[in-house]
A and B are shown apart, each in its own frame.
Chain A
Amino acid sequence: MSWPALLGAVELGLLFSLVGIGVYLSFRVLDFPDLTVDGSLPLGAAVSAAMIVAGHDPVTATVAAVGAGAVAGLVTALLNIRFQILHLLASILTMIALYSINLRIMGRPNVALLMEPTVFDPVAGLYGLPDMVVKPLFLAVVVGVVATLVVAFLTSEIGLAMRATGANPRMARAQGVDTRRTTYAGMALSNALVALAGSLFAQLNGFADVTIGVGTIVVGLAAVIVGEALIPSPRVVFAVIGCIAGSVVYRLAIAAALNADSLGLTSADLNLVTAVLVALALVFGNRRAALRNWLRRRRGLAAGPGGRR
């Protein structure tokens, strides 16, 4: 693999690790399978692109994108909590609605940002390094700050209440946790992070497109699952680091697969490769538990009549 391809993969991996952390918050922490992210990623891109084109400051545009993502998460949570719609369906409804909303925000399916200012401008040419090095470095700093804040949040009193909400909602309520409130907060935070990724994606690649959200959820899940395979630990700090590592490793694996001429894969196969990878990781994860149980049973039998069946 060439250096540009490698750095490009790391860059994308870091960018999408924000999606991974967002999906970790909904899927793992809240136990809320949330497909809103397929809409909130392009939402983040659309809001920031439209605002930058309209002459707003890129930082303001990015903050607005994050806010818009949070609102998208709140809408899904509202549909689920207030109106009792199944979480998966609630999130699909928001996702579908966002497709139209994103088109409205941009006014057209695609907005170019090539000659516009972005949040990456201040670091351009830093220490005379080329863009393809500076951008991943900048992203690494952003991701590092976000990850630190997320870990600090999840180990706080409110964060602990949020984790209990996903793990055992009845017990959480018995301990005085308003599980509705923690779900709203978690969904807002999750989608805010995904919208941040969308906003940075648009500014990094110089365009926002209404279709960039397709499969975001799978990419995010891939980061979470690969991360869990790389760093199996129940501790929040390792789970979040796992999301980042998982996302980067996943992108490198994809890049390697696409670069290997012998495989004959093209970028058109990307979604298929991702789906197969995630499916394999899920199957492997399930099998691992089954394998462990089987081994335990075997050992129990081997221990003789006194052994536990």
Chain B
Amino acid sequence: MIEARDLVKYFNPGTPMEARALAGLDLALEAGEFVTVIGSNGAGKSTLLNVLTGDHRLDRGQIWIDGLDVTNWRAARRARLVARVFQDPMAGTCERLTIEENLALAESRGRRRGLGRAIDRSRREHFRERLAHLGLGLENRLADRMGLLSGGQRQAVSLLMATLRPCKILLLDEHTAALDPATAQLVMDLTEKIVEEQRLTTLMVTHSMRQALDHGGRTLMLHEGRIVFDVADDKRAGLDVPDLLGLFRRARGETLDDDTLLLT
């Protein structure tokens, strides 16, 4: 279970460039929930993910993950609770390392790293199995450098790396946005499969309203660093892209109370 209260984040505070990316955002996720997040550029989507992972430090507010107050934990420490897939396929993996080395790196997440060999026979077997599960034929390319893979393959491996070890929340940062439609679909199907199998609590940021409605069970809309729209279950099932677009426009064009929006 994840709870975030009154999150505030400024960029360039005290300068003419000051920007408020998060403006007192509150968020609670139940265990096993799959939540999609939409919002225009600068709405605070990426900032929200970055404060959840610990990449950005908060100016105000608190974050609890699984009952632990992680507000002051740095990214590396939070990694045992928080898994993430980046938007850029290059960002989530190390192109200079081999596929199995990348996986070995992820396999040690949340564990104490020692001086033992990073890759031994049993681990290699385990990686082969997990890669085969992706259905991309990568299980025969364990010793290939990551840089040799296509964007879609790299993103699939990123997803596997994020979910190789148990986590309390999986954060997906527009992880299919940089891919061509067919590959994006493939990666999205894999995401659904893995999230379902492992019953992961998931927060997926997306630019696509279609994607936001098609996946998960709850959708949030961010605007100017706040959640302006939060819909789930039956109510959400009745929504289509034009409805969402209308809400999106209203959130952008008019200053409405959260309540007014929710009642529409």
- Interchain CB contact (< 8 A) of B96 among A158, A167, A170, A174: A167
Q: Map CB proximity to A onto B148-191 as digits: 1 under 8 Å, 0 otherwise.
A: 00000000000001000000000000000000000000000000
Binds B, one of A129-137, A149-157, A194-202, A270-278: A149-157
B225 beta carbon closer than 8 Å to chain A? no
- Contacts A155-B117, A156-B118 given: A171-B94 contact, CB under 8 Å? yes
Q: Map CB proximity to B onto A154-175 as digits: 1 under 8 Å, 0 otherwise.
A: 0111111101100110111111
Besides the contacts A164-B94, A176-B110, what 7 more A-B pairs have beta carbons closer than 8 Å?
A160-B101, A172-B105, A174-B83, A175-B161, A176-B77, A176-B80, A179-B76
Once the chains bind, are A153 and B115 in contact (CB under 8 Å)?
Answer: yes
Q: Interface residues of B toward A: which range?
A: 35 or more
- Contacts A157-B104, A160-B104, A234-B145 given: A174-B53 contact, CB under 8 Å? yes
B109 beta carbon closer than 8 Å to chain A? yes
CB within 8 Å of B: which A164-214 residues: 164, 167-168, 170-179
Once the chains bind, are A170 and B91 in contact (CB under 8 Å)?
Answer: yes
The majority secondary structure among interface residues of chain A is helix
Taking beta carbons and an 8 Å cutoff, which residues of A are in contact with B?
152-153, 155-161, 163-164, 167-168, 170-179, 234
Instruction: Please list 15 pairs of residues, one from A and one from B, whose beta carbons are closer than 8 Å in the complex, sorted by A's number.
Output: A156-B114, A157-B104, A157-B118, A160-B104, A160-B118, A167-B94, A167-B95, A168-B91, A168-B94, A172-B105, A174-B84, A174-B92, A176-B76, A177-B113, A178-B74
Once the chains bind, are A176 and B91 in contact (CB under 8 Å)?
Answer: no
Q: Map CB proximity to A onto B100-128 as digits: 1 under 8 Å, 0 otherwise.
A: 01001110111001111111000000000
Residues of A within 8 A of B142 (CB): none
B3 to chain A, nearest CB (A): 22
B55 beta carbon closer than 8 Å to chain A? yes
Residues of B within 8 A of A152 (CB): 115
Once the chains bind, are A175 and B79 in contact (CB under 8 Å)?
Answer: yes
CB within 8 Å of A: which B65-91 residues: 74-77, 79-80, 83-84, 86, 91
- Interchain CB contact (< 8 A) of A160 among B76, B95, B105, B161: B105
Determine the distance from Cα of A152 to Cα of B116 in the docked complex, in whole angstroms. Answer: 9
Determine the distance from Cα of A234 to Cα of B147 in the docked complex, in whole angstroms. Answer: 11
Determine the distance from Cα of A172 to Cα of B113 in the docked complex, in whole angstroms. Answer: 13
Q: Map CB proximity to A onto B184-208 as digits: 1 under 8 Å, 0 otherwise.
A: 0000000000000000000000000
Instruction: Across the interface, name the chain B residue whose C-beta is closest to A163.
Output: B97
Residues of B within 8 A of A157 (CB): 104, 108, 113-118
Once the chains bind, are B93 and A171 in contact (CB under 8 Å)?
Answer: yes
- Contacts A157-B104, A160-B104, A174-B79 given: A167-B97 contact, CB under 8 Å? yes
Most buried by B among A155, A168, A179: A168
Instruction: Across the interface, name the chain B residue whose C-beta is closest to A170.
Output: B91
Residues of B within 8 A of A174 (CB): 53, 75, 79, 83-84, 86, 92
A189 to chain B, nearest CB (A): 13
Once the chains bind, are B76 and A156 in contact (CB under 8 Å)?
Answer: no
Instruction: Across the interface, name the chain A residue whose C-beta is closest to B92.
Output: A171
- Interchain CB contact (< 8 A) of A158 among B75, B80, B114, B145: B114
